[in-house]
């Protein structure tokens, strides 16, 4: 069969990784395979596997961090709770774009949301004896489940595809009523499907979190990226949707990586509700001899993990939060580029017989953004992922995200302007061969 990547070469490289089920290949494995094939064959790949920002870092952050380094912060350990500037500006940013009041005390800088979720899982599962399981509202970010495995904790999950709207209540009741769930997690907008949980759905999550005393971890990695709404005006509606309107049992993870394209400095904020921050739990008292959720999170868990977060990057994040809330830095208009890319890419894929797997948010078409999902009639996600490798296109299988649907997650961040024509050319050949 005539394909852009030689079949035998591709097969040899894939087999050399010893992956028994290609559909379960991790993001890093797919990157390694596509990169090796690119080097061996000299053929350009269209990389859609990695969720890495493809825009320049926010200049306001870069300048603030350079100044902080020049002022000598590199030689000084930061306060484990975070510098006052970043805590205050995080609370103000949350008020400006989410319209939720949170005490700066509960805004704790972390080395990206990855560390934020790790520390949140770790602390949550130590709170109450018998509650040792994290519930994932899938599909979700595969590495978060890996975090649970690393810790030796348990997790449960369900694919929300069939449980949107009021049906979400029955799915959550079935899991939460067992009494073993310490916390539940979801991303909003969703990675990988890009649907956005509605206020009605978030209200259901909040009500059941209160009923079963479960902590909600809301991963806002793609903050304000529901481009169907104008979420970029500080202190004006509409605001970023959040469960924080419906429960006090919440932790928000706000990342600098995607919204501000500041991924390389590994900086974000874990925002713990005032009530949860000051709540004492029997499990924490037994283990640590005292403390509240918030103090254990910072002084025990984060201290043990990394002894704090990059000092200079905290100044960068504080400056970006401040400029955004001041209205002098329109971060949303910059990241709308991802939505423009998604629109074009989806048009090309569907033109050549592909389907959008998660195509609706209840009665609304899905937003265009950082990710989208594709399927092809008669192919499993694993088969499609391997098949597209031969056409110089790399993406990850939805099965690795906890989805029960067949298809792939495609990321828009690395797409270059000349690659739209290249993608069209390759998918035209793909269709002819199938």
Rounded average pLDDT over 412-432: 95
Residue 52: pLDDT band by 50, 70, 90 thresholds?
confident
Whether residue 1 is predicted with pLDDT greater than 80 in this model: the reply is no
Domains of the chain: total: 2
Would 37 be classed as within a structural domain? yes
Shared domain for 211 and 310, answered yes or no, is: yes
Would 420 be classed as within a structural domain? yes
Residue 54: pLDDT band by 50, 70, 90 thresholds?
confident
Shared domain for 249 and 362, answered yes or no, is: no
pLDDT per residue over 91-121, tens digit each?
Answer: 999 999 999 999 999 999 999 999 999 999 9
pLDDT of residue 240: 97
User: Would you call 33 helix, strand, or coil by DSSP?
Assistant: helix
pLDDT per residue over 118-145, tens digit each?
Answer: 999 999 999 999 999 999 999 999 899 9
Token look-up 């949350």 returns 94
Two tokens, residue 84: 């006052």
Shared domain for 156 and 255, answered yes or no, is: yes
pLDDT of residue 25: 85
Shared domain for 98 and 212, answered yes or no, is: yes
Would 211 be classed as within a structural domain? yes
CA–CA separation, 139 and 192 (whole Å): 7
Shared domain for 321 and 356, answered yes or no, is: no
Shared domain for 217 and 153, answered yes or no, is: yes
Cβ within 8 Å of residue 417, ≥6 positions away = none
Please, what is the angle between helix 311-326 and helix 59-70, to 10°? 140
In the chain, the percentage of residues whose pLDDT exceeds 70 is 100
Shared domain for 31 and 109, answered yes or no, is: no
Shared domain for 126 and 49, answered yes or no, is: no
Shared domain for 43 and 75, answered yes or no, is: no
CA–CA separation, 87 and 177 (whole Å): 36
Shared domain for 259 and 211, answered yes or no, is: yes
Asked whether 127 and 167 are in contact (CB, 8 A), the reply is no
Rounded average pLDDT over 390-408: 94
Q: How far is CA 254 from the centre of its chain?
A: 10
Question: At which of 274, 294, 326 does a domain end?
Answer: 326
Distances (CA, A) of 7 to 10, 105, 198, 386, 388: 5, 57, 45, 11, 11
Q: What residues make up the domain containing 232? A: 59-326
Whether residue 404 is predicted with pLDDT greater than 90 in this model: the reply is yes
Asked whether 284 and 291 are in contact (CB, 8 A), the reply is yes
The residue among 253, 296, 299, 305 whose CA lies nearest residue 125 is 296
pLDDT of residue 430: 96
pLDDT of residue 195: 94
CA–CA separation, 49 and 381 (whole Å): 13
Token look-up 């209840």 returns 362
pLDDT of residue 213: 98
**What's this model's pTM, rounded to 2 decimal places?**
0.95
pLDDT of residue 23: 81
User: Would you call 156 helix, strand, or coil by DSSP?
Assistant: strand
Q: What is the DSSP string of 356-401?
A: ESS-EETTEEPPPSSEEEEE-TT--HHHHHHHHHTTTEE-EEGGGG
CA–CA separation, 343 and 339 (whole Å): 6
pLDDT of residue 22: 82
Would 2 be classed as within a structural domain? no
Compute and round to an integer the Cα radius of gyration of the chain: 22
Asked whether 240 and 97 are in contact (CB, 8 A), the reply is yes
CA–CA separation, 98 and 321 (whole Å): 13
pLDDT of residue 51: 83
Asked whether 34 and 389 are in contact (CB, 8 A), the reply is yes
Residue 204: pLDDT band by 50, 70, 90 thresholds?
very high
Shared domain for 125 and 248, answered yes or no, is: yes
Would 74 be classed as within a structural domain? yes
CA–CA separation, 357 and 359 (whole Å): 6
Question: At which of 298, 326, 354 does a domain end?
Answer: 326
CA–CA separation, 251 and 120 (whole Å): 8
Question: At which of 263, 296, 326 does a domain end?
Answer: 326
CA–CA separation, 376 and 408 (whole Å): 9
Q: Which CATH number belongs to the domain containing residue 16 in this structure?
A: 3.90.1150.100
Rounded average pLDDT over 185-203: 96
Q: Which CATH number belongs to the domain containing residue 258 in this structure?
A: 3.40.640.10
Length of the chain: 434
Residue 98 backbone dihedrals phi, psi, to 5 degrees: -115, -20
CA–CA separation, 257 and 392 (whole Å): 27
Q: For all residues of the chain together, what is the average pLDDT? A: 96
pLDDT per residue over 16-47, tens digit each?
Answer: 998 878 888 888 899 999 999 999 999 999 99
pLDDT of residue 28: 86
Would 1 be classed as within a structural domain? no
Shared domain for 233 and 367, answered yes or no, is: no
């Amino acid at each position: 069969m005539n394909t852009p990547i030689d079949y035998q070469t591709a097969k040899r490289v894939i087999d050399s990784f010893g992956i028994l089920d290609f559909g379960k290949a991790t993001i890093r494995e797919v990157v390694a395979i596509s990169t090796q094939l690119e080097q061996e064959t000299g053929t350009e790949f269209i990389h859609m596997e990695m969720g890495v920002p493809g825009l320049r870092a926010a200049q306001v952050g870069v300048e603030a961090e350079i100044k902080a380094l020049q002022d000598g912060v590199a030689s000084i350990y930061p306060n484990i709770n975070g510098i006052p500037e970043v805590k205050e500006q995080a609370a103000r940013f949350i008020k400006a774009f989410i319209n939720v009041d949170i005490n700066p005390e509960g805004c704790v800088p972390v080395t990206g949301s990855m560390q934020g979720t790790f520390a949140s899982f770790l602390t949550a599962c130590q709170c109450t004896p018998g509650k040792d399981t994290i519930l994932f509202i899938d599909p979700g970010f595969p590495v978060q489940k890996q975090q649970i495995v690393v810790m030796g904790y348990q997790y449960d999950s369900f694919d929300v595809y069939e449980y949107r709207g009021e049906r979400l209540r029955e799915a959550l009741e079935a899991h939460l009523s067992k009494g073993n769930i310490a916390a539940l997690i979801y991303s909003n907008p969703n990675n990988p499907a890009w649907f956005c949980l509605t206020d009605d759905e978030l209200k259901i999550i909040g009500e059941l979190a209160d009923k079963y005393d479960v902590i909600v971890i809301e991963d806002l990695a793609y903050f304000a990226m529901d481009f169907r709404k104008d979420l970029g005006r500080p202190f004006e509606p509409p605001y970023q949707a959040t469960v924080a309107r419906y429960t006090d049992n919440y932790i928000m993870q706000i990342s600098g990586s995607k919204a501000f394209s500041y991924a390389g400095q590994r900086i974000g904020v874990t925002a713990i509700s005032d009530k949860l921050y000051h709540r004492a739990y029997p499990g924490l008292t037994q283990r640590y001899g005292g403390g509240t959720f918030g103090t254990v999170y910072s002084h025990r868990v984060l201290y043990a993990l990394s002894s704090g977060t990059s000092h200079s990057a905290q100044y960068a994040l504080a400056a970006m939060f401040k400029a955004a809330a001041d209205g002098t830095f329109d971060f949303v208009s910059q990241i709308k580029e991802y939505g423009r890319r998604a629109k074009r890419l989806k048009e090309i894929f569907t033109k050549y017989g592909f389907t959008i797997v998660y195509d609706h948010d209840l009665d609304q078409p899905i937003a265009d953004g950082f990710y989208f999902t594709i399927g092809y009639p008669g192919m499993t996600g694993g088969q499609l992922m391997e098949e597209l490798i031969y056409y110089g296109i790399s993406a990850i299988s939805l099965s690795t995200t906890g989805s029960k649907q067949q298809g792939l997650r495609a990321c828009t961040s690395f797409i270059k302007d000349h690659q739209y024509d290249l993608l069209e050319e390759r998918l035209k050949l793909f269709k002819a061969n199938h």
